[in-house]
Chain A
Amino acid sequence: MLLGLGAAWLIMFIYVILITLRERKLRKELDRVRRMVEHPNK
Chain B
Amino acid sequence: MREKIIIALAIFAAGLLAWNMNTVFTGLPDELNQGAIYRIIYFHVPANILGMLGFGLGMFLSIGYLVTKDLRYDALAASVTEVALVYASIGLATGSIWARIIWGVWWAWDVRLTSWLVCWLIFGGYLMLRRAVDEPNQRARFAAVVSVLGSVNAYISYKSIEWWNTQHPQPVLSIRNGGGMAAGMESPIYWNLLALACFSVILVMVRMRQESFAREIDTLRRMAHAQ
Interface residues of A (CB under 8 A from B): 1, 3-5, 7-8, 11-12, 15-16, 19, 22-23, 26-27, 29-30, 33-34, 36-37, 40
Taken together as a complex, chains A and B put the C-alpha atoms of A27 and B40 apart, in Å, by: 38
Q: Mark B191-227, 1 if CB is under 8 A from A, else 0.
A: 0000000010001001101100110110011011001
From the candidates A19, A29, A40, name the one contacting B207 in the complex (CB within 8 A).
A19
- List 9 additional A-B contacts (Cβ < 8 Å) besides A11-B90, A22-B210, A26-B210: A1-B40, A8-B43, A8-B93, A19-B207, A23-B206, A30-B220, A33-B221, A33-B224, A40-B224
Are A11's CB and B227's CB within 8 A?
no
Q: Are B40 and A5 in contact (CB under 8 A)?
A: yes
Q: In the bound complex, what is the Cα–Cα distance between A17 and B10 (angstroms)? A: 16
Please pick, from B43, B203, B213, the residue contacting A15 in the complex, using a CB distance under 8 A: B203
**Does B94 touch A at the CB level, under 8 Å?**
yes
B226 vs chain A, min Cβ distance (A): 10
> Are B213 and A27 in contact, with the CB atoms below 8 A?
yes
Contact B227 A37 (CB under 8 A): yes
The tally of residues in B whose CB lies under 8 Å from a CB in A reads 29
B39 interface hit (Cβ, 8 Å): yes
- Which residues 50-102 of B have a CB within 8 angstroms of A? 86, 89-90, 93-94, 97-98
User: Smallest CB-CB separation from A3: which chain B residue?
Assistant: B97
Task: Knowing A4-B97, A4-B98, A15-B203, say if A33 contacts B214 (CB, 8 Å).
Answer: no
What are the residues of chain B within 8 A of A22 when measuring CB–CB? Answer: 210
A15 to B203, CA, bound (A): 9
Of B47, B207, B214, which contacts A8 at CB under 8 A? B47
A27 CB contacts on chain B under 8 angstroms: 213
Write the chain A residue with the least CB distance to B202: A16
B93 touches A30 (CB 8 A): no
Interchain residue pairs with CB less than 8 A apart (5) = A1-B39, A3-B97, A4-B37, A7-B94, A33-B221
Contact of A40 among B43, B217, B227 (CB under 8 A): B227
